[in-house]
Structure 1
Amino acid sequence: MRIILATSNHGKVKEFQSWISEYEVVAYSDIMAPFDIDETGSTFKENALIKARAVYEKLENKNDIVLSDDSGISVPLLGGEPGIYSARYAGINANAKENFTKLIAALKDKGIQKTPAFYTAAIALVCAKGEFCVHGWMHGDAIAQERGTNGFGYDPMFIPCGYNQTLGELDESVKKAFSHRARALELAYIVLKSLK
């Protein structure tokens, strides 16, 4: 049984492979021509399912399992922004730095230096036995400054609960132990084991 990730990002394939090492994990773009998938959902769960379903529909081998994730950061004081728009907060073609800069500016515009925030990860699995979705969260604070160079995206401005450093300052192995994606992957692994 193979796990097909609904991504062309080989870095993500490597990350997922390290979590579910007993399975062969491949990017969908390694077995079929890449295609655009419109993330039209209003939640992380809906977007993860949209991506997984789109890839599963095109699979030749329906014994494979398609796994997809959608994740982002939400700041309640900003009405939950950027939320599902985390990857395109500064515009559809914006890069991670532009998204990060826009969120810092949004906090500063409200005179906020530090406020509660949380990351959400939704992981969807679509296979012949059905559709499944699990979630993981990481709570902490968003700060209106950049600290650290580790990680990616919003990591240099997020301080997880129980820490004084941002994710950008913490070692990757520390982050991997309790991140929102790690928590969701632990649950996805339980689902995968039940599908054998």
Structure 2
Amino acid sequence: MKILIATGNKHKREEIQQILNGLEVELISIDQLPESIEVEETGETFTENARLKAEAYFELTGLPVLADDSGLEVPALNNEPGVRSARYAGENADYLKNNQLLLERMKDLASSDRKARFRCVMCFKTSEGEWFFEGITEGEILQEFRGSGGFGYDPLFYVPALQKTYAELTPEEKNRISHRGLALKKFKKFLKEYLKKFDKRQ
């Protein structure tokens, strides 16, 4: 079975490929498509945005599509940056600018108010329907960067249980506990059963 991974984010794509490794599927990147589309993420929730992307790419290609939307939620900031995590400091902002804005908005918060969570919602769409998978990792936001791995808010997102930021974890460690890793594990379990039914229909 071919599955289109509906993201242009290289880091996300690599995480997905690592976790789904070993399954009898061919993962296709949107970079491999003869034409590309720009999907406006106009949803108010991660679920809505994941669905928008999955539906748009399914309509374009007819292939089964795995799309995700994910981001950081800080309860003390009314769950900002939320669905705007990638463009928190503006449409063309890079990771550094987003992180700097987050630190600025949290500078006067007490340590007890620096709790945060990463949330990922994945949508798998085929001709038979669509299914959703969610992963959440709880942590807190540090006052300075730590670690050189990962991307996005990883250098600021501290996981107390591991006493490390996302950026200090190896890819294998991160995949075990990250929001995307947890959502993908649920999807992988579902996909194994789905593939059995798919094979019987072939």
Do residues 12 (structure 1) and 12 (structure 2) align? yes
Q: Which runs of 5+ in 2 are unaligned?
A: 196-202
TM-score (norm: length of structure 1): 0.91
CA offsets per residue over residues 135-173 of structure 1, 9 Å max, x none? 000001112211121111111111113122222223332
User: How far apart are 1:10 and its partner, in Å?
Assistant: 4.2
* Structure 1 residues 91-102: aligned runs within 5 Å: 91-102=90-101
CA offsets per residue over residues 98-143 of structure 1, 9 Å max, x none? 11111011111x3445611000011111101101111000001112
Q: Structure 2 vs 1, CA of residues 43 and 156 (structure 1 numbering), >3 Å: closer, same or farther?
A: same
Secondary structure of the residue aligned to 1:195 is helix
CA offsets per residue over residues 22-56 of structure 1, 9 Å max, x none? 21101123123111100011111110110010000
Q: Which runs of 5+ in 1 are unaligned?
A: none
Q: What's 2:166 paired with? A: 167
Q: What's 1:134 paired with? A: 133
List 4+ stretches of structure 1 deviating above 6 A: none
Q: Which amino acid aligns with 2:14?
A: K
Q: What's 2:48 paired with? A: 46
- Give 1 or 2: higher helix fraction: 2
In 2, the alpha carbon distance for the partners of 1:112 and 1:149 equals: 26
* Structure 1 residues 27-106: aligned runs within 5 Å: 27-59=29-61, 62=62, 64-106=63-105
Instruction: Choose 165-174 or 120-129, whichever is displaced more.
Output: 165-174
In 1, the alpha carbon distance for the partners of 2:13 and 2:28 equals: 6
Kindly, what percent of the aligned residue pairs are identical?
Answer: 36
CA offsets per residue over residues 49-91 of structure 1, 9 Å max, x none? 10010000011xx3x3100111111100011010111000000
In 2, the alpha carbon distance for the partners of 1:9 and 1:75 equals: 23
Give yes or no for contact 1:8–1:34 (8 Å, CA) kept in 2.
Answer: no
Q: Which amino acid aligns with 2:139?
A: G
Matched length:
192
CA-atom RMSD, angstroms? 1.5
Instruction: Choose 136-145 or 24-33, whichever is displaced more.
Output: 24-33
